[in-house]
Amino acid sequence: MTGDGLVQVAYLHRHELSNSFHESLLRLVTYDQVHAQRVVASRRPIALACPSGALPDTRNTAVGQWLDETPHEWLFWIDTDMGFGPDTVDRLVTAADPTLRPVVGALCFAVRELGGDGMGGRRLMLSPTLYVSGPDPDTGQRAFVTRWRYPADALVPVAGTGAACLLVHRSAAEAVRARFGDRWFDRVRYNDGRLISEDLSFCARLAQVDVPIHVHTGVTTTHHKMVWFGPQDYSPPADAPPLESYDQIEPDPAESESSESFVDRHFDEALLSTAEGLGRRLRRGEQQLDA
């Protein structure tokens, strides 16, 4: 075993955290305190401020600090817009193996932009961060391609995944360092020149040093993002009443009143109440003057 069995937590931030991340981390630490103590026995989290455009460099700095300044066996990457269960670290460590499964991610979802919505917003869709190697549907070039379907509660081998909730064994990071230097997350390009994200660039380097990657689809997360909703995104619940049942609900003519008469009547009542209140205040003022 390389390391001491403990888990080093690492996250990058811009001085703002999602409440779901904050609460999830508190619950995880509390859970860890009374269970395996893999986190609370390690050094404090590696929490680095990440300026815009500095994501690869800042991730590289965090990995370097973990390897050079701690003996801890595992690195737990968690993004500050994620929600996760209190037993997430324990479940990932249990599923992982230093040799067979040295890199294990939780089931996460990214938001993919499809284009404008014609109303100043964007059309979005969710995509699981499980990627296989295959032809890109747009270019035909070999690339990281989304695996849209996956088995439930299973360890799924993948070509790549994101770093939003990811457990990495020390030996995997050391293997990348030995081959590429301290450039774990430096972005690389596809053959056609397109840049690859920093997390998938890390996965590409892992593949080049024969380190396998898995995603545990039973370890679930939530992802706090800004979204736009429209009719294209809506589908009724499976147990919702059929459309015809709403058509059968009609108001009783004897009890109904038009919206116009309803507004007029309530407006008149409100106006009368206001006038009566104003009259009472005026009379009280006159009485005070007489006194």
Distance CA 30, CA 23 (A): 11
> Under a CB-based contact definition with an 8 Å cutoff, are residues 103 and 214 in contact?
yes
Judge whether residue 291 has pLDDT over 60. no
pLDDT in tens, 156-204: 999 999 999 999 999 999 999 999 999 999 999 998 899 999 999 999 9
Judge whether residue 75 has pLDDT over 80. yes
Judge whether residue 60 has pLDDT over 60. yes
1 band by pLDDT with thresholds 50, 70 and 90: very low
DSSP structure string for 233-266: G----TTSPPHHHHHT----TTT---HHHHHHHH
Alpha carbon distances (Å) from 257 to 164, 252, 253: 56, 10, 8
Judge whether residue 52 has pLDDT over 90. no
Rounded to two decimals, the pTM is 0.81
Query: Cβ atoms within 10 A of the Cβ of 74, count?
Result: 27
| Stretch 119-141: mean pLDDT | 90
At the topology level, CATH places domain 7-233 in: Spore Coat Polysaccharide Biosynthesis Protein SpsA; Chain A (3.90.550)
Judge whether residue 288 has pLDDT over 80. no
Ordered by start, the domain boundaries in the chain are 7-233
Judge whether residue 209 has pLDDT over 90. yes
Range of weakest confidence among 21-25, 39-43, 253-257, 284-288: 253-257
Average pLDDT, the chain: 89
Percentage, residues of the chain above pLDDT 70: 84
The encoded tokens of residue 180 equal 């590429």
> Under a CB-based contact definition with an 8 Å cutoff, are residues 77 and 42 in contact?
no
Distance CA 190, CA 129 (A): 19
